[in-house]
Amino acid sequence: MAALPCIEIETAPNPSAAVIWLHGLGADGNDFVPIIPQLNLSECPAIRFIFPSAPSMAVTVNGGYVMPAWYDITGRAVNDREDIAGIHKSATAISELIEREASRGVAYEKIVLAGFSQGCAMSLQVGLRFPHRLAGIMALSGYLPLANSLAQERSEANGKTPVFMAHGTWDAVITLERAEASVDTLEKLDYQVDWNTYPMEHSLHPDELVDISRFLTMVLSKS
């Protein structure tokens, strides 16, 4: 896969931290750019926000319609076949973005991997298997993909990395129960999950933005 096209926004010159934020199915890198001014990052170091765009592909669950996607989705049920090859392909491209930040002078432990919906799934897929410790993982309105292989593939480096998970109690796209099952799987593997729910559908909530600001401050303001 070619390098992912990205939108980059720096909160101040010479950033020493980075947040790689992955969009959901059918969106692109522009999707969460408007969120940045709504976050309180006053106690954080300068941050480079990176918003990559997924390549377009035919998505089975949407009748084969071609749209930006990190991997194919065959159905909405928990037991539907997962696109293992597609997930691994995108994971490689996302890992390359992390390595690029490291090559630009941002320490691995100052990089947060974030994502919404399908992007949430990819942030967990990549972050929990990445060989260097990251600052944190921010998993919004999504689920843990390839859950059965995590115990064998997990990276000890990120065994204690803070994981912020958030979900809407009215989410009909990815049910609350599916997200709760993901949290349960992670906690059984001793991950530190900061689990939050909000009265919303498949979206973002104003209170969630406050909690995201709190999480980013916690994991990035450490010396």
Question: Which residue segments constitute the domains of the chain, with CATH numbers given?
Answer: 6-220 (3.40.50.1820)
pLDDT at 28: 96
**Which pLDDT belongs to residue 223?**
46
What is the signed CA dihedral for 23, 25, 27, 31, rounded to 10 degrees?
-30
- Amino acid found at 217: T
At residue 222, the pLDDT reads 54
Contact 190, 105 (CB under 8 A): no
Picking from 204, 211, 220, 215, the residue whose alpha carbon sits closest to that of residue 32 is: 204
Alpha helices in the chain (DSSP H): 84-103, 118-127, 147-153, 176-188, 206-220
Which pair of structure tokens corresponds to residue 68?
């930006």
What pLDDT does 48 receive?
98
Distance, CA of 129 to CA of 131 (rounded, Å): 6
Active-site residue list: 117, 171, 202
* Mean pLDDT split into 10-residue runs, the chain, 223 residues: 90 97 97 96 96 97 95 80 95 98 97 98 98 98 96 96 98 96 97 97 97 98 62
- For 78-113, b where at least 16 C-beta lie within 10 A, e where not — what string? eeeebbeebbeebbebbbebbebbeeeebebbbbbb
Q: Which residue shows structure tokens 């993909």? A: 145
Query: CB–CB of 177/153 below 8 Å?
Result: no
pLDDT of residue 76: 74
